[in-house]
């Protein structure tokens, strides 16, 4: 059994055992178990992210184009460079949660432990790049026009401790707010994947256009190794999580509830859930 699956099994075995504990029952509280599923993205910050990426990836792609061209034209130097960046993100979130209501059925406050699997996808959609070059000897000018596609994917398994307040807990349909903190397993960083590809044409006066293309795929471990070789430390060893959700909870029967919530979980989530209270 792999490590994440083992952790899940042991986590919920402990929770079930706790739910049957006589001391817990004697305290008058209630346990609630739920499963949730929904979508995740950071597209609400699309324009801001595109602006940030435009600056941060500009030099990286410009240097890549220039290095490839200079293998064939060593005297070509950059004259000007411009690019446009398109960004997209999204994927899914699902998880299991166990909650303890110390005050029982009428209680508002509850303490929860959650296991979250969030698939995160960050995509650079066809970056358009225009590079103007000049031959340092002949002063001849040339132009390169290219398209770049890039994608970062990660799927962190995280454990969160959160606090929930059911507003008007006696109502059949009630709003709630949840705040939580947590962290992923370290393997989330090691197993992330980064891919990119580009294709473009170099136009030199008096010559047929020359086509250039390249692609690469790297894991988080590959990136770590590269940074360590250069004497740098990788900035993260795990993914921290911040949760702030608002939602509605409706009673189907005395012990079964349907929920829908939205908010922040290292991005924007929208999800539904089924909960059972004991």
Residue-wise pLDDT for 223-275, tens only, equals 899 888 888 888 888 999 999 999 999 999 989 999 999 999 999 999 999 99
Q: Are residues 198 and 233 in the same domain?
A: yes
Beta bridge partners of 7: none
Q: Cα separation of 70 and 68, whole Å? A: 6
CB-based contact 150:124 (threshold 8 Å): yes
Query: CA 167, CA 109: separation in Å to the nearest integer?
Result: 9
Q: 3-state secondary structure string, 117-168? A: EECEEEEEEEEEEEEEEEECCCCCEEEEEEEEEEEEEECCEEEEEEEEEECC
List the domain range (segments joined by +) for residue 145.
43-89+120-154+188-237
Quote the distance between the C-alpha of residue 178 and its chain's center: 20
The span from the CA of 130 to the CA of 82, in Å, is 5
Same domain? 166 vs 30: yes
pLDDT (0 to 100) of residue 161: 98
Which region, left, alpha or beta, applies to residue 52 given φ > 0 means left and ψ of -120 to 50 means alpha?
alpha
Q: Residue written as tokens 């992210």? A: 49
Total of domains in the chain: 2
**Is residue 62 located within the same domain as residue 166?**
no
Percent residues over pLDDT 70 in the chain: 87
Q: Is the pLDDT of residue 31 over 70?
A: yes
The domain that contains 250 carries what CATH number?
2.40.160
Both 229 and 192 in one domain: the answer is yes
Q: What are phi and psi of 8, to 5 degrees?
A: -60, -45
Both tokens of 34, joined, read 């739920």
Q: Where are the alpha helices (DSSP H) in 182-264?
A: 187-190, 220-229
| Locus of tokens 């099994």 | 9
Work out the average pLDDT over 70-80: 93
Same-domain check for residues 258 and 147: no
Mean pLDDT across 96-120: 94
Q: Quick one: 78 and 110 in the same domain? A: no
Is residue 150 located within the same domain as residue 206? yes
Are 71 and 128 in a shared domain?
A: yes
Q: Based on the fold, state whether residues 79 and 160 are members of the same structural domain.
A: no
At residue 9, does pLDDT exceed 80? no
Please answer whether residues 136 and 219 qualify as being in contact, where contact means their C-beta atoms are separated by less than 8 angstroms.
no
pLDDT tens digits, one per residue of 33-49: 999 999 999 998 888 87
Distance of alpha carbon 263 from alpha carbon 268, whole angstroms: 6
Tokens of 126: 């066809």
Same domain, 115 and 48: no
Pair 222, 250 in one domain: no
Q: If you compute the radius of gyration of the chain from its CA atoms, what whole number of angstroms results?
A: 26
Same domain, 78 and 6: no
Are 257 and 277 spatial neighbours (Cβ–Cβ below 8 Å)? yes
Predicted TM-score of the model (pTM): 0.81
């Amino acid at each position: 059994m792999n490590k994440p699956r083992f952790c899940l099994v042991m986590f919920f075995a402990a929770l079930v055992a706790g739910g049957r504990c006589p001391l817990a029952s004697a305290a008058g509280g209630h346990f609630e178990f739920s499963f949730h599923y929904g979508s995740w993205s950071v597209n609400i910050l699309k324009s801001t992210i595109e602006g940030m990426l435009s600056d941060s990836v500009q030099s990286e792609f410009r240097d890549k184009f220039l290095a490839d061209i200079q293998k064939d034209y060593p005297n070509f130097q950059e004259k000007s460079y411009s690019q446009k960046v398109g960004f997209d993100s999204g994927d899914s979130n699902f998880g299991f949660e166990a909650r303890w209501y110390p005050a029982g059925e009428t209680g508002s406050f509850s303490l929860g432990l959650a296991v979250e699997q969030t698939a995160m996808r960050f995509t650079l959609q066809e970056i358009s790049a225009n590079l103007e070059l000049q031959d340092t000897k002949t002063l001849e000018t040339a132009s390169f026009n290219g398209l770049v596609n890039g994608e970062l994917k990660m799927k962190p398994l995280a454990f969160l401790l959160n606090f929930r307040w059911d507003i008007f807990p006696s109502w059949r349909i009630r709003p709630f707010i949840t705040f939580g903190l947590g962290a992923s397993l370290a393997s989330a960083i090691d197993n992330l994947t980064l891919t990119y590809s580009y294709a473009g044409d170099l136009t030199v006066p008096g010559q047929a256009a020359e086509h250039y293309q390249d692609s690469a795929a790297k894991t988080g471990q590959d990136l770590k190794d590269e940074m360590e070789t250069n004497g740098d430390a990788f900035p993260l060893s795990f993914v921290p999580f911040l949760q702030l959700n608002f939602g509605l909870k409706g009673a189907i029967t005395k012990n079964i509830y349907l929920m829908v919530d939205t908010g922040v979980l290292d991005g924007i989530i929208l999800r539904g859930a089924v909960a059972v209270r004991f």
